Amino acid sequence: KISKRLEQIANQVPVGSTLADIGSDHALLPAYLVQQDRITRAIAGEVNPGPFQAAAKQVKEAELNYKIEVRLGDGLEVISPNEVDVITIAGMGGALIASILEAGKAKLPGVKRLILQPNVGESNVRSWLIANGWVLTNEQILEEDHKIYEILTAVPADQTELTDSFVYRTRELEQGHHADRELLLKLGPYLLDRPTEVWHRKWQLELNKLDMIRHQLSLSALEESKRKQQDVEREMKQIREVL
């Protein structure tokens, strides 16, 4: 049994895929997908020796070595070009996910789908995707153990499965007015279209956080604090308008 978060990520992986799960920790996601017979092969990548060993142990104990290879290395360094068709990167900050994709760009041709689950900083991931020829096709949000997670799925912009509405969404992200674009990158075009209760809660919590920051800044007499306070107020206003 895996977490609801990992289950929802798993559900985005097409049946029959070869997968690279980067930052795999205990290799729970690839192990689950192989046990369910939903993927043909997987690479579990880990940069840290602790989680790398945990993954290797898990795979060995579950007798999954014939289908899952655990590799030690930074980001996409562990895969060769055209080795996998789906990449999952989950449970890290959005800035780190974007930097892993940026550093591993050369490995991406041939990859048909990216499934990314940033814990924070989702806008970093969305902006990297649209700046690099990927189209967001799905966004999910869920709450588990009092934490809220987003799962972003993207495919290459030149892939034929794309329908107009996906492309339209991406155009909006690329070409909208600056303020609209910033907001869409932050809030997510699909999530904004079909807001759920969890999504509302996430941004209400964010508003509360921003309000605390605004209050702190208002106590300072520095010019810079005043400017920052205005930025925070503008951001709060933008969020309030769409909630």
Interface contacts to ligand SAM, rule CB under 6 A? 22-25, 45-48, 51, 74-75, 90-92, 96, 100
- Nearest CB to ligand SAM, comparing residues 23 and 156: 23
User: How far is residue 196's CA from residue 214's CA, in Å, rounded to a whole number?
Assistant: 27
Q: DSSP H helical segments within 42-159, as ranges?
A: 49-61, 94-103, 122-131
Runs of H (alpha helix) within 176-219: 178-187, 189-193, 197-218
Shortest gap between Cβ of 52 and ligand SAM (angstroms)? 8
| Shortest Cβ 22–ligand SAM spacing (Å) | 5
First CA to last CA distance, the chain: 35
SS3 of residue 163 by DSSP:
coil
- What is the closest distance, in whole angstroms, from the C-beta atom of residue 216 to ligand SAM in the complex? 29
φ, ψ for residue 94 (rounded to 5)?
A: -60, -35
Nearest distance from C-beta of residue 183 to ligand SAM, angstroms: 27
Which residue's CB is nearer to ligand SAM, number 91 or number 195? 91
If the CB atoms of residues 49 and 109 are measured against ligand SAM, the closer one turns out to be 49
Closer CB to ligand SAM, 100 or 183, in the complex:
100
